């Protein structure tokens, strides 16, 4: 088992290094999982985003200002010539998650990256969600992705210095209604579970999804707006949480290595798919039997505000 304290110090030291800055310059996102993006993500999920060194934050902001297209192209003809479609077009969920990381770290995201927040409302689909698959937006009846949607809802609700605009309130209401129609993890058509991984609480999540992540948003939106959550959904969530709750808190059942493939740089300057790499802080907070303090804290925040009134 990896020691948490030493792993935390190791990650913060790495994020302070020339190596980390050069990694961001090469590509702010790839490869998975051992680059600054993922170290920053774990620190944010641990509630430690303020420990991300300024040198890393500055490098990431600069990369986000210059490396990526600042719009989400729907059709191939919208992509500027010479754009690396795999590395220079940010997906919607990556924008939602990095917006949250930078905000939590103290960056004035709306000043430094003014293109990011408008994405969320702009790319909301009629069903209330969003989708990282650009082809969906050209369909007659486009369907959203819960994975793409949740991080954008979180960014709008949790990351702000002022009151929500009327447009953002509508965005959050439509998103919340979308999650309720899906019952957080079920197909609307037949009620089947979309992905069995979603009914297990996991950590860290990065861009991934589980029922508690979706429910935490719903409960916080209820607290802020009075949005009603159906009783049967509350009861199902409570049952699922109880399956992983111990007297010490929520217990994880596995090491949450979401994806075992990565887009990796090669010695000749090209990129190709290969194996992932990992880092010790990731391992220290995600293993079979780990008690997740951040997720236990999140559940304790909402368990008394989530019932319908």
For residue 260, give the CATH number of its domain: 1.50.10
CA 185 to chain centre: 16
Is 309 within the bounds of a domain? Answer: no
Please say whether the beta carbons of 142 and 136 come within 8 A: yes
How many separate domains does the chain show?
1
Q: Which residues pair with 245 in a beta bridge?
A: 250
d(CA 277, CA 33) in angstroms, rounded, equals 6
121, part of any domain: yes
Q: Are 252 and 202 spatial neighbours (Cβ–Cβ below 8 Å)?
A: yes
C-alpha to C-alpha distance for 215 and 182, rounded to whole angstroms: 12
Question: Does residue 78 lie in a domain region?
Answer: no
Residue 192 lies in a domain: yes
What is the per-residue pLDDT for 122?
97
Give the residue among 145, 161, 162 at the shortest CA–CA distance from 153. Answer: 145
pLDDT of residue 287: 96
> CB of 210 within 8 A of CB of 201?
yes
Tokens of 305: 């505000």
pLDDT at 5: 97
User: pLDDT at position 77, please?
Assistant: 93
Count Cβ atoms within 10 A of the Cβ of residue 191 and give its class: 0-12 exposed, 13-18 middle, 19 or more buried: exposed
Residue 79 lies in a domain: no
8 A C-beta contact, residue 126 and residue 142: yes
pLDDT of residue 86: 87
- Give the per-residue pLDDT at 2: 79
Per-residue pLDDT of the chain (309 residues; tens, 9 = 90+): 779 999 999 999 999 999 999 999 999 999 999 999 999 999 999 999 999 999 999 999 999 999 999 999 999 999 999 999 889 999 999 999 999 999 999 999 999 999 999 999 999 999 999 999 999 999 999 999 999 999 999 999 999 999 999 999 999 999 999 999 999 999 999 999 999 999 999 999 999 999 999 999 999 999 999 999 999 999 999 999 999 999 999 999 999 999 999 999 999 989 999 999 999 999 999 999 999 999 999 999 999 875 544
**What interhelical angle do 92-104 and 36-45 show, nearest 10?**
60
- State the sign of the Cα–Cα–Cα–Cα dihedral 68, 72, 78, 79: positive
Domain holding 16, by residue range, is 4-73+84-302
Residue count (the chain): 309
Task: Look up residue 186 and give its two tokens.
Answer: 């079920």
> Phi and psi at residue 228, in whole multiples of 5°?
-90, 135
Domain assignment of residue 307, yes or no: no
């Amino acid at each position: 088992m990896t020691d948490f304290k030493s792993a935390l110090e190791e990650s913060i030291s790495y994020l302070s290094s020339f190596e980390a800055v050069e990694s961001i310059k090469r590509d702010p996102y790839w490869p998975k999982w051992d680059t600054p993006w993922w170290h920053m993500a774990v620190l944010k999920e641990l509630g430690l985003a303020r420990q991300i060194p300024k040198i890393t934050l500055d490098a990431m902001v600069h990369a986000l200002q210059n490396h990526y297209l600042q719009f989400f192209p729907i059709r191939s003809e919208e992509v500027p010539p010479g754009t690396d479609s795999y590395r220079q077009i940010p997906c919607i969920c990556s924008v939602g998650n990095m917006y949250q990381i930078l905000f939590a770290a103290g960056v004035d995201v709306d000043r430094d990256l003014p293109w990011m927040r408008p994405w969320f409302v702009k790319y909301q689909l009629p069903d209330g969600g969003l989708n990282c698959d650009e082809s969906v937006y050209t369909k007659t009846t486009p369907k959203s992705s819960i994975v793409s949607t949740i991080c954008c809802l979180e960014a709008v609700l949790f990351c702000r210095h002022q009151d929500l605009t009327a447009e953002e309130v509508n965005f959050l209401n439509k998103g919340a209604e979308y999650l309720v129609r899906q019952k957080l993890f079920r197909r609307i058509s037949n009620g089947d579970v979309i992905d069995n991984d979603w009914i297990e609480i996991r950590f860290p999540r990065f861009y991934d999804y589980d029922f508690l992540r979706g429910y935490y948003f719903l409960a916080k939106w209820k607290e802020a707006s009075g949005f009603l959550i159906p009783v049967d959904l509350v009861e199902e969530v409570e049952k699922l949480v109880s399956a992983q709750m111990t007297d010490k808190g929520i217990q994880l059942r596995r090491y949450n290595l979401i994806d075992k493939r990565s887009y990796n740089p090669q010695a000749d300057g090209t990129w190709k798919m290969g194996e992932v790499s990992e880092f010790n802080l990731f391992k220290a907070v995600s293993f079979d039997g780990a008690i997740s303090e951040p997720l236990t804290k999140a559940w304790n925040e909402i368990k008394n505000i989530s019932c319908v009134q």
